[in-house]
Every structure is written in C-alpha cells, then in structure tokens.
Amino acid sequence: MNPIYFSTSFTSSAERLDQCPNAIVEVAFAGRSNAGKSSAINTITRNGKLARTSKTPGRTQLINHFEVEDQRFLVDLPGYGYAQVSKSRQKAWQASMLRYLSRRDALRGLVIVMDIRRPLQDSDWSMIELQQESQAELHLLLTKADKLSRSAQQQSVMSVQRQMHEAGISATIQDFSALKGTGLDDMHRVLDHWLYDRAL
C-alpha cells in the first residue's frame, strides 16, 4: 500500500482534450456505467467523496483529473455502455475517447473497470479496441469481488485472462472489492509502476 494516493485531490473537469491540465504522467480509469469505477477510485485514494458515485447511469460525462502529486494524475473518464444513450451520443463518446487515448502524451496506463460477475461486455471490448490504438498499457480491474465466493472470483479472473490471451491482448488483471478493500495493494503497485516507474 502506498499512502501517497491518500492525498489525491480534484484538479479539473474537461469536456475536451485541450482543456486537460498539463501532466508529466497520468493513469486513466474507464468502465461501464455502474461497474464500480468511482467507488474504486475513492477506495484507492481513501477519499469517499473524490469521484462522484451515483445510481444514475452515466453520471460521469467529463474527463476528471485528480492530482496525486507533482503533475501525476488519476483520470476518471466518462462512463459507457448504458442503453439510454443515442447512437449519435455513443459515436461522440467513442470519438472523444479515441482522441484522448491516442493523443494524450502523458497517458501511461488505462484501467478498465468491470463488474467481476459480468466482465468483457461488448462495450468493454470496444474500449479495449480503443486502448489498442494508443501507447497506454492496460490493466483490467474486476470489481465487486465481495459478491462472489473466492473460487468464483478466481474462475472469473482466469476466464478473462484466457480471453485476453486468445485475443492477443497484453493486460494485467486482478479482482477488487471497494467494500472490503480486496486488491488495494495490487492496484497501488500497478499505479506505482505507471506513475513512478517502479517494478511490478
């Protein structure tokens, strides 16, 4: 566990890439609506009010930057995968995410947050395809692990690992529970690696 993340603070919200703050390095979080992305960020930073959580799908519509220290950021990307959004909005989101992922030079890694009970939905694959167009490394965070038994958690992680291997996609994968703090140390190690060039 690295306590540096517990001092993370909100910096800004941006509608467009050119509104994002200057950064040395940053790690972005993306996920389907209600996959637990905001709760994961709040657990990682031990700040329950940092990323806004909501039962309303699609609450996060902006690119939100949170500074860990010295222009090192965690980034909360707009949620995706909710059925109420029109095709034109979906295309606009996809274009916006592609611009961010492919043009944001400071971006070192992308964490895709998925409910461990329903990983790798079609919209998750779409996000992975966008990530493959960038230089960012990929980490899959399987949240709400407390909802499954330990053996079921392991089965889900292994299933995702197998599908990533079959697709020829390089990614690190872990289970996580915001409720119980499961996987927090592992997530901090990934962030240490990306933000501070420390060995995994």
What is the residue-level pLDDT of the chain in tens, covering all 200 positions? Answer: 999 999 999 999 998 899 999 999 999 999 998 899 999 999 999 998 898 755 544 445 789 999 999 999 999 998 887 766 677 877 888 888 899 999 999 999 999 999 999 999 999 999 999 999 999 999 999 999 999 999 999 999 999 999 999 999 999 999 999 999 999 999 999 999 999 999 88
* Global confidence as pTM: 0.94
| DSSP conformation class of 79 | P
- What DSSP character marks residue 148? S
Q: How far is CA 145 from CA 73, 117, 118, 165, in A?
A: 26, 8, 11, 22
Domain ranges of the chain: 3-196
* Structural domain 3-196, CATH architecture: 3-Layer(aba) Sandwich (3.40)
CA nearest neighbour of 63 among 115, 99, 39, 89: 99
Q: What is the pLDDT of residue 34?
A: 86
Are β-strands 25-31 and 72-76 bridged in parallel, bridged antiparallel, or unpaired?
A: parallel
Number of neighbours of residue 181 by Cβ within 10 angstroms: 14
